[in-house]
């Protein structure tokens, strides 16, 4: 079941979400925006300046599942999350459906073939983080190029491929969900994360990346458990436990 925005707000007002503490101002640029009548939250990460990582399992092999669990681990390093978002599809045990690499270690192989659900709606793609760069790469191209990724998560479908919307997206679709995803600049220096604030179609969501943000490559993360941690926007969404999570790590302010 999807948690309604008013429930999230009620929980936050009741003190059920931890306070945003120790996050330095300006670590990540986030803002609320409206495109073609739909509302979104948008966060941009400068890959030349910020430490963007993927998180899945803790040191004991258990899935983090929550933003707060990652923050608890980072506290021991004197660090904190400045931004985070769910980042790829996963099974009931929260194991990734597709390719996943964390800190150079491959957890799950690449899945190049079609399959059920949104993940298998080809073309899908991989979000690859290298040294100071981020790229969204279509899966078969990723398979051919075999880029070195310190972190990688496979998801699907692709939203934008070489400046074109996914061929299966329909302008008159009635399938609307809260959706989130990522797009990358052509030079790999900027990663732009987007989550809708009202239900949108795939076509509407993809057009924002291509037409409004001017991004030629963009990847869908999910549409059922989409969650955002963005202190700049006062958001610490709660809901079902997550699988892969992407986040910016910064030094805790005051340490």
Q: Tell me the pLDDT tens digit for each residue of 56-104.
A: 999 999 999 999 999 999 999 999 999 999 999 999 999 999 999 999 9
Residue 178 lies in a domain: yes
**Contact between 125 and 140 (Cβ < 8 Å):** no
Look at residue 26 and tell me whether its pLDDT is greater than 70: no
Residue 235 lies in a domain: no
Residue 66 lies in a domain: no
pLDDT at 24: 64
Residue 65 lies in a domain: no
pLDDT at 27: 65
- Say what percent of the chain tops pLDDT 90: 85
Average pLDDT over the chain reads 91
Residue 7 lies in a domain: no
Residue 68 lies in a domain: no
What is the distance of C-alpha 29 from the center of its chain?
15
Residue 10 lies in a domain: no
Residue 251 lies in a domain: no
What tens digit of pLDDT does each residue of 175-192 get?
A: 999 999 999 999 999 999
**Contact between 1 and 225 (Cβ < 8 Å):** no
CA distance 195 to 11: 20
**Total Cβ atoms within 10 A of residue 65:** 18
Look at residue 235 and tell me whether its pLDDT is greater than 80: yes
**Nearest alpha carbon to residue 96 among 129, 59, 58, 57:** 57
How many domains does the chain fold into? Answer: 1
Range of the domain at 128: 27-51+88-228
């Amino acid at each position: 079941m999807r948690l309604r925005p008013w429930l999230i707000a009620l929980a936050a007002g009741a003190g059920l979400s931890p306070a945003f503490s120790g996050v330095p101002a300006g670590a990540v640029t986030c803002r609320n925006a409206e495109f073609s009548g739909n509302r979104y939250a948008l966060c941009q990460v400068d890959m030349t300046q910020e430490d963007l990582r993927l998180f899945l399992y803790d040191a004991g092999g258990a899935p983090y599942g929550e933003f707060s669990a990652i923050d608890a681990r980072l506290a021991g390093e004197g660090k904190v999350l400045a931004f985070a978002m769910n980042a790829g599809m996963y099974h009931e045990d929260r194991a990734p459906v597709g390719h996943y690499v964390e800190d150079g270690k491959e957890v799950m192989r690449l899945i190049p073939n079609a399959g059920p659900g949104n993940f298998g709606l080809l073309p899908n793609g991989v979000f690859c983080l290298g040294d100071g760069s981020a790229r969204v790469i279509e899966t078969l191209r990723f398979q051919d190029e075999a880029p070195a990724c310190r972190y990688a998560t496979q998801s699907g479908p692709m939203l934008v491929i070489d400046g074109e919307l996914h061929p299966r997206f329909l302008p008159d679709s009635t399938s609307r969900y809260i959706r989130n995803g990522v797009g990358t600049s052509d030079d790999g220096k900027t990663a732009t994360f987007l989550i809708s604030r009202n239900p949108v179609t795939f076509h509407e969501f993809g057009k924002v990346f291509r037409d409004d943000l001017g991004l030629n490559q963009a990847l869908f993360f999910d549409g059922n458990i989409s969650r955002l941690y963005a202190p700049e926007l006062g958001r610490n969404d709660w809901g079902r436990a997550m699988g892969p999570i992407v986040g910016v790590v910064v030094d805790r302010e005051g340490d």
